[in-house]
Amino acid sequence: MQLIAITGMRYGPKVALVRELAEQHSAAGRRVALLDNTEKPIQLDGVDRSRFAGGCVCCTLASSLIPVVWKLEADVALLPVSASADPETLARVLQTIQNTRVHAHTIALIDDHTRQHHPYLAQRLAFYADEVRDV
């Protein structure tokens, strides 16, 4: 199973990417699951959905996330994470989750505002991501 974590500060681009990826993978015949840790719930039809609210999957909710991922019956799991997620801590959690069945991939969505006003955060998001997308 491919676990795709989506990081970044802005909610809108995360939702747009989740919908795009869900559509692409579903059209290819893959079973898609949504593991939602965003600030507001993402509404997405036709996929299994788990909501991780009241904290961040990189720290307070990590112990809840790990067993859910390991038991998940999907080909692709989309994990949009809270804007408060620490990139390094999230990377460690994703390393813990990976095994012979689960492969984690992180996409960082970085906008101009984050680059200009929070350059250190933008650098950390990019450093711990497998892929960086400008939004």
Write out the two tokens for 60. 């307070």
User: pLDDT higher for 19 or 66?
Assistant: 19
Domain locations in the chain as residue ranges: 2-134
Q: What are phi and psi of 33, to 5 degrees?
A: -125, 150
Tell me the per-residue pLDDT of 25-76, one tens digit each, with 9 for 90 and over. 999 999 999 999 998 999 998 899 999 988 888 888 888 898 999 899 999 9
| 5 CB-side CA count, 13 A | 33
2-134 maps to CATH 3.40.50.300: yes
Q: What are phi and psi of 34, to 5 degrees?
A: -115, 125
Give the pLDDT of residue 57: 86
Tell me the per-residue pLDDT of 92-131, one tens digit each, with 9 for 90 and over. 999 999 888 899 999 999 999 999 999 999 999 999 999 9
* Close Cβ partners of 124 (under 8 Å, ≥ 6 residues apart): 87, 88
DSSP 44: -
